[in-house]
A = this chain, B = another copy of it.
């Protein structure tokens, strides 16, 4: 009876969706924060003022916190409202990235710019780039195909993609490339692991001697690690997705090695901690690739320049 009503399950969480306002409400809150008026915010998101009023009110009831100070000449956020708005902004940004990705995924054919990307890049970086591209060139429709390096190369060489992104150690034959960023692999453990408390860095020998939670052989991450250790990484468990590896590491099964792109959230939330390592070059280049000779032009060139800042 500590929780709400019909959640007899009593499990981890009684459905976030019932406790977190929906995206429309969060967007509305951001608009109120920016514009300082319920009515103006309502206009911006395309609803009427009473609807906005009611929606903000019901959000306040749901959260149990006053979010805005209403006055006859405008509405300002309360202190708590400012904090909630910042958290809301993060949710909305994640949703915008979701949307940018989904939009690219939808436009499978006949799009002006067809991008092929490896999974890690498609998952963690591309949505952000697509948002930036959309901001600069709203008319450019982008389509996205995801696969491993070989698949990306094949799509480019077959003329089914205009620009590719890969994260391997080598550039597939027949492609030109440009390094757009460097990714670092990080050794991580759950906070309770002995490595999390020792003072000195882990050495290459220790890392090679310790069974690790890893992606399967052939994955980009595994390739880099094997190369760095001289082909010696010992698997404790082999899993086929980054997500599964993370979940296993968080649960305390053992140390793992993952891209810093993949574990940013877990590190911030202290579900995982990064372990310093010495003597192991755990870096890899992230590259844009295109068929030799076909220098990117038009939207592809634009996207490429965005990725390099």
In whole angstroms, what is the CA distance A131 to B261 when docked? 21
Residue of B nearest to A146 (CB): B83
Are the CB atoms of A98 and B87 closer together than 8 Å? yes
- Cβ–Cβ < 8 Å partners of A308 in chain B: 191
In whole angstroms, what is the CA distance A270 to B9 when docked? 39
Residue of B nearest to A85 (CB): B243
In whole angstroms, what is the CA distance A191 to B309 when docked? 4
Q: Which of A113-134 contact B (CB under 8 A)?
A: 119, 122-125, 127-129, 131-132, 134
A–B pairs, 29, beta carbons within 8 Å: A2-B46, A6-B46, A9-B139, A16-B23, A16-B96, A19-B99, A20-B23, A22-B23, A23-B23, A63-B105, A63-B106, A79-B146, A80-B146, A83-B101, A83-B122, A84-B102, A87-B98, A90-B94, A90-B98, A91-B91, A91-B94, A128-B265, A128-B269, A129-B269, A132-B270, A261-B268, A270-B306, A270-B309, A273-B309
- Cβ–Cβ < 8 Å partners of A97 in chain B: 87, 90, 269
Residue A227 is within 8 A (CB to CB) of chain B in the complex: no
In whole angstroms, what is the CA distance A103 to B18 when docked? 13
Are the CB atoms of A20 and B86 closer together than 8 Å? no
Are the CB atoms of B131 and A269 closer together than 8 Å? yes
Are the CB atoms of A20 and B128 closer together than 8 Å? no
Q: Produce 1/0 per residue, A8-38, CB < 8 A to B.
A: 0111111111011011100100000000000
Are the CB atoms of B95 and A20 closer together than 8 Å? yes
Contact status of A24 and B15, CB under 8 A, knowing A83-B123, A146-B79: yes
In whole angstroms, what is the CA distance A90 to B20 when docked? 15
Are the CB atoms of A268 and B46 closer together than 8 Å? no
- Cβ–Cβ < 8 Å partners of A236 in chain B: none
In whole angstroms, what is the CA distance A92 to B90 when docked? 11
Residue A7 is within 8 A (CB to CB) of chain B in the complex: yes
- Cβ–Cβ < 8 Å partners of A265 in chain B: 90, 93, 128
Q: List residues of A whose CB falls within 8 A of some B CB.
A: 2, 4, 6-7, 9-17, 19-20, 22-24, 27, 45-46, 63-65, 79-80, 82-84, 86-99, 101-103, 105-106, 119, 122-125, 127-129, 131-132, 134-135, 138-139, 141, 146-147, 191, 196-197, 241, 243, 261, 264-265, 268-271, 273, 306-309
Q: Nearest-CB distance from A30 to chain B (Å)?
A: 10
In whole angstroms, what is the CA distance A79 to B9 when docked? 32
Residue of B nearest to A119 (CB): B83
In whole angstroms, what is the CA distance A7 to B47 when docked? 11
Residue of B nearest to A134 (CB): B9
- Cβ–Cβ < 8 Å partners of A10 in chain B: 138
Residue of B nearest to A242 (CB): B86
